[in-house]
Structure 1
Amino acid sequence: MRKRILVFSLFATLFFSCSDDDGPNLEAVPPRLLAEVAPENDEEIQEFLQTHFYNYEEFTSPPAGFDFKIVIDTIAGDNADKRPLSEFVDNVDITVSSFEHGLEVEENDIPHRLYYLSARPTNDEVASLKAAGTCPECFPTVADSVFVRWEGKLLDGSVFDGAANPVWFDLARLQDLTQGFRGFTEGMPFIQRGENIVENGDGTVTVENFGVGVIIFPSGLGSFNALSASIPQYSPLIFTVDLFTLNNTDHDGDGIPSIEEDLDGDGYLYNDNTDSDSEFPPLANFQDGDDDGDGISTREEITDEDGNIIRPFPDSDNDGVPDYLDPDTN
């Protein structure tokens, strides 16, 4: 997620081939289908979950000085009796379409399964908090910015990047699949933020009860067929994450939180574009300061003469469409 791994090629992989009669030439290998790769990746992930464990005993009964870092290891030898990750994770299905990866062959709404584990608090505790609705601000949405410490790995344990000290990530921008890490964004709402951040004066911070979790997802929610020196094509990815805090966002500064600009409520911000026929390049509503393209800014259409935001948003012609989404109202 550092700049050096965010830039991916959207072109087909090129391989050199040669024969006895001809010199070297380039052979274009077309991308594989999402519908073909997704179940293969899921099999790889499930095998990983069944053959690996994390240090759940330390999280259940923390020893003195425990750093609350997740350690994943193979179930074998002295660890043969450990409970597999498969007993601790939950999952959610997220659809992906070919246009999101810039693929030529059209595929729509292909399901991809993401697995997540909250080690502190546990998945069950997270589910209870969410169901009770007692602390919605404790969990990020896919539109928020998060202050996290993280490490990214392949299933074979190879580390491709990470941050030992916390950094800010804009989850909405990471949800754009050209970034290669949509799965990171989709998994973060299942991890709880910490409390009482204290700056230590040396560039580090201390945070109480920060959330600790793991997010595992298939390549369709990652970089898929993109070329990278550190992430092979079609590779599932694993992220261990410590969530310190979060900020709610309004990316276009129009007065509407970005998560509220997910009009269809599907959790994907980039397919909500009210004036897509009038823009080039098209901008999703959360990026667009004039959501209906009528020449009047969204902020102007939702505020009174003193600049205060009016809720519910004004609907001058009472047609059920707020003025800021209705190009016929100005």
Structure 2
Amino acid sequence: MKLKNSIVFAITFISLWSCKKDDGPEIEVVPPRSLIEVAAEDDAEILEFLSTHFFNYEDFLNPQEKFDYKIKFDTIAGENGRKTSILDSGELPGIEFGVETISVASSSFGIDDGEVADHKLYYLIARQGSGDFPTIGDNSILRYEGLLLNGTLFDGSSNQPLKFYLSNPGLRVGFAQAILKLKTGDSFTDNGDGTVSFENYGVGVAFMPSGLAYFNTRAGSIPAYSPLIFKLDAIAYEKDTDYDGDGIPSILEDLNGDGNLNNDNTDGDFSNSGPVYNHLDTDDDGDGIPTIEEINLDSEGKFESVRDSDGDGIPDHLDKDS
């Protein structure tokens, strides 16, 4: 397995706490569990699953004409007793299995105990795509299924690709980072019946602890403190996505270059939903002049370069005094 460098992410998150009416019954508020303890428990549960289950790797190693490139899990037992576990699947030709360590602070979930815990995101790539990798600042187009470790399906896009902005503050950290592991497809075919078939797209799975997902919050049918599995088909992505339409590709608004767009907020703007980071802000320096009017665009109206009118080394769109 490959261990990647630890990445510290700050996730915008609002925790709704129970309250009681003066004339109502007293409600017991259960304090959140330790992020560090839960991370260790989740990791043990995920490793247990990975070591006792296999996926249909034989279908991927020798795909038949009508194979749908869907990943399926089963338990290593009985007639499947000699199958290669998911944990060891990286030893198979053409299959990649890895782990990335991501540090998360409890404050990301509105908890003020000061804990910071390393979380392991495990990922399986059953088929790498023939296209390119998206960046954390791009819109990604994919199909997915979300499962609990017991196999319960809690979410799925069926066969319809959906678009996700990978730096959306509300998107789960583990989900976004897993998508970055997969190259997208390189072509598509119009079937003539209103449907489109995508070709050579990446197919993989992410196994993530609750600290990279919803942690102590129940989300729909997902219980609190639940490790999650996401099956992913990386169909396509929008290169150089400009999410806020300010003329600058979102990935270029990662000013400190740490791979996290949600900690770059030049003017300190806030809204009702939280900080307005530069990649979400059409006036990055808050000087009343739209960012798109303070940069250089090419003849097609696309970003060309920044502008520094007063020569102080700070681009106009980040400089209130320019």
**TM-score using structure 2 length:** 0.83
Compared with structure 1, are the counterparts of its residues 262 and 305 closer, same or farther at alpha carbon in structure 2 (3 Å cutoff)? closer
- What amino acid does structure 2 have at the position aligned with 1:235? S
Aligned to 2:138: 144
Aligned to 1:62: 63
Alpha-carbon distance, 1:85 to partner? 0.9
Q: 1:288 aligned to 265, 275, 281, which one?
A: 281
Aligned to 2:257: 265
CA distance in 1, matches of 2:119, 2:306: 35
Aligned 8 A contact 1:301 1:323 in 2 = yes
Aligned 8 A contact 1:275 1:291 in 2 = yes
Count the aligned residue pairs. 296
Aligned 8 A contact 2:71 2:231 in 1 = yes
- What amino acid does structure 1 have at the position aligned with 2:166? A
Q: 2:118 aligned to 95, 104, 111, which one?
A: 111
Q: Which has the higher helix share?
A: 1
Aligned to 1:213: 204
Aligned to 1:171: 165
SS of the aligned residue for 2:204 comes to strand
Aligned to 1:90: 98
- What amino acid does structure 1 have at the position aligned with 2:283? D
2:315 corresponds to 1:322: yes
Aligned 8 A contact 1:9 1:227 in 2 = no
Alignment of 1:1-330 (within 5 A): 10-12=15-17, 25-87=26-88, 88=90, 89-108=97-116, 110-121=117-128, 138-172=132-166, 175-177=168-170, 179=171, 181-248=172-239, 249-276=241-268, 278-281=269-272, 282-303=275-296, 311-329=304-322
Alpha-carbon distance, 1:319 to partner? 3.6
Alpha-carbon distance, 1:318 to partner? 3.5
- What amino acid does structure 2 have at the position aligned with 1:323? D
- What amino acid does structure 1 have at the position aligned with 2:40? P
**TM-score using structure 1 length:** 0.81
295-304 vs 248-257, which moves further: 295-304
- Unaligned runs of at least 5 residues, structure 2: 1-12, 91-96
Alpha-carbon distance, 1:216 to partner? 1.2
Identity percentage of aligned residues: 48
SS of the aligned residue for 1:45 comes to helix
Compared with structure 1, are the counterparts of its residues 217 and 64 closer, same or farther at alpha carbon in structure 2 (3 Å cutoff)? same
